[in-house]
A and B are shown apart, each in its own frame.
Chain A
Amino acid sequence: MAVSGPHKEDVQAYRAENLPPPPPPAGQSQSQPEPKETFLLLLFASAQSYCDNKESLTFSAPMTLRQLFEELERRYSGIGEKVLKSSQFSVNLDYVHCTWKGTMQGDDEELVLKARDEVGIIPPVSSG
């Protein structure tokens, strides 16, 4: 038994998050459902290795930075201490002032992330 391939639940969750919903059955309303409003979280270096080597994650907008990191800690227990504490954060390619001290603190912790925003977690890389 090798548990290395993606689990069925993972695949279903991925589909639910990323694939368009199935077309409505014939005869029903033709109006398309609103596309899900999401923002992208980019994971670099150790943030990536901590989150099952995923390059990015998507989240529903709107959400504050603090809420985002709470959600991350729920999904990836320990990420705060191991990764976020030493990392820098960016929103749309600009640094934001946030520090992980058990929770997210800083001038920008209540910054609201909107649909199509791009948030980055940038841990220090030290090898070479």
Chain B
Amino acid sequence: MPQTSKVPNHSSHGLSSQQDAVKDTQSLFADHMPTSMTDDILSEMGSVRNYREGLQTNAPLDQTHLAHDFSHIYTPAPALASSRYNRQMLIPSISLLGQQRISAARILIVGLGGLGSPASLYLAGAGVGKLGLLDDDDVELSNLHRQIVHREDSVKQGLPKVQSAKRACEELNGECKVVGHEMRLAVGGSDGAKVMEVFDGYDIVLDCTDNPATRYLISDLCVLLSKTLVSGAAQRLEGQVLLLNYAVPPAAASMDHTARAERGPCYRCVFPTPPSPDMVLSCGEIGILGPVVGTIGTLMASETLRLIVRGLEETRKPTMLLYNAWPADPRSMFRTIGLRGARKDCLACGKEDVLKEKGLKRITKDELVEGRVDYVAFCGVSEDVRILKSGERMSAQEFLHLTAREAGTENHQRVKRPVIVDTREPHEVEMGPKIGGSINIPLTKILRQGRSIEEMEALLLDGKHDSMLFVCQRGNDSQIAARKMLEARRQRYETKAESGADGVGTMNGEDSRIAFIGDIAGGFAAIEKVIRTSSVRPP
């Protein structure tokens, strides 16, 4: 095959190559068709023939010149077009400009877990110019079912997630510049300025984190630094995707009177009130399916690429995508909710005068950098429930010793055993430790179904029992359940006392047949601790 050198040259070698090329083109016809046929075709293609004749009749000097340098009539395909990105460049809305934008984009992924895994891999694969990875965690075995950027080897080596993900992204695409930021996302002290500096080095931030406080912090940082934020979250079989704080081109902003803001809503605009800390559970507690969080992370990567290709501007109305992997109705797997634009009274991105009217002030860069915005306090912490008196609680140690002693007693008839009510949800009981002879009535049932209380009362008063002990994982739900039962008993006693029924109660208002209603303080967590550290065997 003739070689075409990249730099046009006038050497004899170059000339012969080009002549070979011309001969080759002619031979495409000549070798495979009878000469007469070739001539027929050529006669029909009048313009081609004329052109060829023209070449032949022109001075040989011109021909030589053409053979040497076609650069004035011929530009080679851009190198990018035949690069590894060819298949995505074939999409008309991406093309060359789109890929050039992708190759120049600087993207920061905060959190290299279930969301950050597919997001980092797809963005590295797509060839973003600079890919920042921020996390402070190490890879653990329980991560691998969903955090597909990491490998078993990273667990064995005890690698930080940033290093593990960086290695995978670089292996996938050596052309992508991957920058690791092994740090905790925190403000205050020297951290604030550092975090600002990191964020400022990127165009788009992907929030792939796992707690509300960090989500509000990331959003506020993006507002202050005018960075587009792609936010995703997933739990169990559901997920959400939001595109936030994006630039709205002036034309679109003026055409749409409801969204005059220069940027789209921020996380605070969409969720001004943080979730109740009792309802916030991490993946470690609530559970998550790999493909679900993977779908959300993948959608985040797709949204990021769309925004890059569009030149970091968004003209569409803000929306929130909801994903339910296993819906009852298959048509409701994906839903898109239309949102309103930025809130004028938003503490992060609102209008100064609107906030002032309400006696509020916008969060400033200094406040944030110096750590004066307390995100943890804003989101609250789940406090241990304290609704039982100490006399209504039994320690795990006491419980185990009492039960062990009872088991050793020969005359079982004489000892009335406690009814042990496990208030965990059935699936938690299935996967967790159990106490022999306990019954499972989830707290949700106890709270909502009067019938559960009646059933428990019947058990308590069946003559074989004299006490009732509630137990759960940590000793919070068990207190709520015990309180509910205690109240039900008190009401029952009062009703009986009023109607003058015979003496089920004693002078101090307690039922003489019942020795104790309460819970096991600290629940199974405390029981396991005692068993681990003492010679007491579980009953």
Q: Which residues of A contact B (CB under 8 A)?
A: 1-4, 7, 9, 42, 44-46, 48-50, 52, 55-56, 75-77, 81-83, 85-86, 88, 90, 93-95, 97, 99, 120, 122-128
Task: List B residues 222-276 near A (Cβ within 8 Å).
Answer: 232-235, 238-240, 270-271, 273-276
A127–B288 touching, CB < 8 Å: yes
Measured between beta carbons, the chain B residues less than 8 angstroms from A7 are 449, 451
Measured between beta carbons, the chain A residues less than 8 angstroms from B233 are 124-128
Measured between beta carbons, the chain A residues less than 8 angstroms from B444 are 52
How far apart sit A81 and B276, CA to CA, in the bound complex (Å)?
8
In the complex, how many residues of chain B place their beta carbon closer than 8 angstroms to a beta carbon of chain A? 61
Q: A1-B439, A52-B448, A127-B283 are in contact. Are A86 and B273 (CB under 8 A)?
A: yes
Chain B min CB distance to A15 (Å): 17
B210–A128 touching, CB < 8 Å: yes
A55–B239 touching, CB < 8 Å: no
A45–B238 touching, CB < 8 Å: yes
How far apart sit A1 and B459, CA to CA, in the bound complex (Å)?
10
Q: Which residue of B lies closest to A101 (CB)?
A: B273
Task: List B residues 348-377 near A (Cβ within 8 Å).
Answer: none
Measured between beta carbons, the chain A residues less than 8 angstroms from B209 are 126, 128
Measured between beta carbons, the chain B residues less than 8 angstroms from A42 are 332
Measured between beta carbons, the chain B residues less than 8 angstroms from A46 are 275, 279
Measured between beta carbons, the chain B residues less than 8 angstroms from A88 are 270-271, 320, 337, 339
How far apart sit A76 and B448, CA to CA, in the bound complex (Å)?
7
Measured between beta carbons, the chain A residues less than 8 angstroms from B502 are none
B98 on the A face (CB < 8 A): no
Chain A min CB distance to B266 (Å): 13
B433 on the A face (CB < 8 A): no
Chain A min CB distance to B74 (Å): 51
Q: A86-B273, A125-B239, A126-B212 are in contact. Are A95 and B338 (CB under 8 A)?
A: yes
Query: Quick one: which of B111, B238, B340, B445 contacts A97, CB cutoff 8 A?
Result: B340
Measured between beta carbons, the chain B residues less than 8 angstroms from A55 are 324, 327-328
Measured between beta carbons, the chain A residues less than 8 angstroms from B338 are 90, 93-95
A-B contacts counted at CB < 8 A amount to 125
Measured between beta carbons, the chain A residues less than 8 angstroms from B296 are 128
How far apart sit A100 and B440, CA to CA, in the bound complex (Å)?
34
Measured between beta carbons, the chain B residues less than 8 angstroms from A120 are 322, 335, 337
A3–B455 touching, CB < 8 Å: yes
9 A-B pairs with least C-beta separation: A125-B233, A128-B115, A46-B279, A124-B271, A86-B275, A86-B273, A94-B338, A126-B212, A90-B337
How far apart sit A4 and B444, CA to CA, in the bound complex (Å)?
11
17 contacts between A and B (CB under 8 A): A9-B451, A48-B238, A50-B279, A52-B444, A52-B448, A55-B324, A83-B276, A95-B339, A97-B340, A120-B335, A125-B238, A126-B209, A127-B233, A127-B234, A127-B282, A127-B283, A128-B233
B211 on the A face (CB < 8 A): yes
B452–A3 touching, CB < 8 Å: yes
Query: Quick one: which of B286, B337, B340 contacts A122, CB cutoff 8 A?
Result: B337
How far apart sit A55 and B337, CA to CA, in the bound complex (Å)?
17
Measured between beta carbons, the chain A residues less than 8 angstroms from B215 are 124, 126
Task: List B residues 386-436 near A (Cβ within 8 Å).
Answer: 426
Measured between beta carbons, the chain B residues less than 8 angstroms from A90 are 337-338
Chain A min CB distance to B463 (Å): 16
